[in-house]
């Protein structure tokens, strides 16, 4: 199944990506476009999912603004998380039918993409029972929060490549108290691949796991 791929040359503000997702979801529901994958990095932002608790934000909003960090409410599932350059984010806008119309299986496939991407760079990654996302022995590497609207998916998965991990110190990531967050850079150090190398592997794994063929198209925001 051919799937449009939208990428960006620079980090994208969260609000812009949210608007784009909403537009694409509506068009996909109406069958005006094929399945679409958005692959990007965000400018610094803390997002609050539908199950977010305010006490998991550890700094006042004014302090965030002074540090150049946006704060945004998000209709995705999950609690609170942090996005910034150096973190790859997948937003699959897919119409799920038949056996694919299974929320747990969809999340499982996103986790599988993250696990396979990490393993391509010799990093052992795995799931944890009862929790969403992907971990390594050094901490959580990928976070997942999705939304389904008439079985069209949006939002998705964030994967830490060389993001500055200090950004996670100002929240309780995903509401998991005491849990560490890590990145490929923190694990591999000088052996860390570039964002472009990780992006290429992640796209290939998306095609395999989601059983779709990516076709590049120009971004509306590029």
Q: How many CA atoms lie within 13 A of 105 on its CB side?
A: 10
The first and second tokens of residue 62, run together, are 């004014």
C-alpha distances (whole Å) from 190 to each of 84, 121, 197 are 21, 13, 14
Residue pair 28/95 in contact (Cβ under 8 Å)? The answer is: yes
Select which of 118, 144, 174, 210 is catalytic. Answer: 174
Does 174 participate in catalysis according to the annotation?
Answer: yes
User: In degrees rounded to 5, what are phi and psi of residue 17?
Assistant: -65, -35
Rounded Cα gap, residues 30 and 32, in angstroms? 5
Assess contact for 146 and 76: CB atoms under 8 A.
yes
Q: Both ends of the chain: CA-CA distance in Å? A: 25
Q: In what order do the strands lie in the sheet with 70-73?
A: 70-73, 45-48, 80-83
Residues recognised as catalytic:
174
């Amino acid at each position: 199944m051919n799937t449009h791929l939208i990428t960006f040359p620079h980090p994208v503000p969260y609000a812009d990506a949210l608007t784009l997702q909403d537009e694409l979801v509506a068009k996909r529901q109406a069958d005006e476009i094929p399945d679409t994958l958005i692959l990007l990095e965000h400018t610094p932002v803390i997002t609050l999912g539908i199950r977010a608790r305010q006490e998991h934000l550890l700094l006042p909003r004014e302090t965030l603004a002074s540090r150049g960090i946006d704060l945004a409410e998000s209709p995705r599932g999950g609690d609170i998380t942090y996005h910034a350059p150096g973190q790859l984010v997948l937003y699959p806008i897919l119409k799920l039918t038949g056996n694919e119309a299974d929320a747990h299986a969809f999340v499982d496939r996103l986790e599988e993409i993250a696990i396979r991407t990490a393993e391509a760079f010799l990093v052992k990654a795995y799931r944890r029972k009862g929790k969403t996302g992907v971990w390594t022995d050094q901490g959580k590497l990928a976070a997942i929060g999705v939304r389904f609207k008439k079985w069209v998916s949006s939002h998705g998965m964030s994967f830490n490549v060389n993001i500055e991990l200090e950004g996670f110190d100002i929240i309780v990531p995903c509401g998991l108290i005491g849990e560490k967050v890590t990145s490929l850079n923190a694990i591999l150090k000088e052996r860390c691949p570039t964002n472009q190398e990780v992006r290429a592997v992640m796209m290939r794994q998306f095609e395999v796991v989601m059983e779709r063929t990516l076709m590049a198209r120009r971004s509306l925001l590029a």
